[in-house]
Copies of this chain bind each other. A is one copy, B any other.
């Protein structure tokens, strides 16, 4: 599956995706990396992996005009799906409709908690004891689409944002490639808000939907314990 990746910042999730793809671990070919910030660190990762780049400054341009130009570049790249990797700008409705069910986003919170641009800080302000991250399909309302996979990590009242975010990012870097892989393998069956993970044997398996996928996986990392659902696979 050819993918386009949109990024506005340092692109740490982009970097991980490109590394997995380059090593042949993901069933995707990165076709284009786009940024609305010509100075985004993400662009260096794309260039390091020889992935074509589309960089334009979105400041001062109407969203619809800018998004139409992005869409044209994406169509030309042959990308079949779009991965948002820290793209810090709302997307136009027509853009989302053009790739309906084929745009993924990652959010640094256990949605529906802490919707918005500051999931980590919001968790600290609330003094939640658990935070995490969520990969979901993108719909027009922000942070609203069907959920594919979620991870939880602990939060302590002694945490600063600099303590918490590496814990969340470590899980982002594990669950986002996993969700992309499932989409590329055609294993995500969406029914309303339900996202059913089909068995590894593929979409033509006659047992589709009859095999109950593993519920979740708990474990430890150097950054602390975590819980992910559905369970991660090797790739």
Chain B residues whose C-beta falls within 8 Å of the C-beta of A149 in the assembled complex: 129
B129 touching A132 by the CB < 8 A rule? no
A227 touching B229 by the CB < 8 A rule? no
CA distance A129 to B220 in the complex (A): 19
Query: Quick one: CB contact mask for A124-157 with B, threshold 8 Å, 1 for yes?
Result: 0111111010100000000000111111111111
Partner of A152, one of B196, B212, B227: B227
Tell me if A161 is interfacial: C-beta within 8 Å of chain B: no
Shortest beta-carbon distance from A99 to chain B in Å: 21
Partner of A112, one of B113, B147, B218, B219: B113
Partner of A127, one of B129, B130, B146, B227: B146
**Residue ID in chain B nearest A213 by CB atoms:** B156
Tell me if A216 is interfacial: C-beta within 8 Å of chain B: yes
**Residue ID in chain B nearest A146 by CB atoms:** B127
Tell me if A60 is interfacial: C-beta within 8 Å of chain B: no
CA distance A144 to B113 in the complex (A): 13
The 5 closest A-B pairs by CB, nearest first: A154-B216, A154-B229, A218-B225, A227-B227, A218-B218
Contacts A156-B212, A215-B224 known; list 15 others, CB within 8 Å. Answer: A112-B126, A125-B193, A129-B148, A129-B230, A130-B152, A130-B216, A130-B229, A153-B216, A154-B216, A154-B229, A156-B215, A156-B229, A157-B196, A218-B225, A225-B227
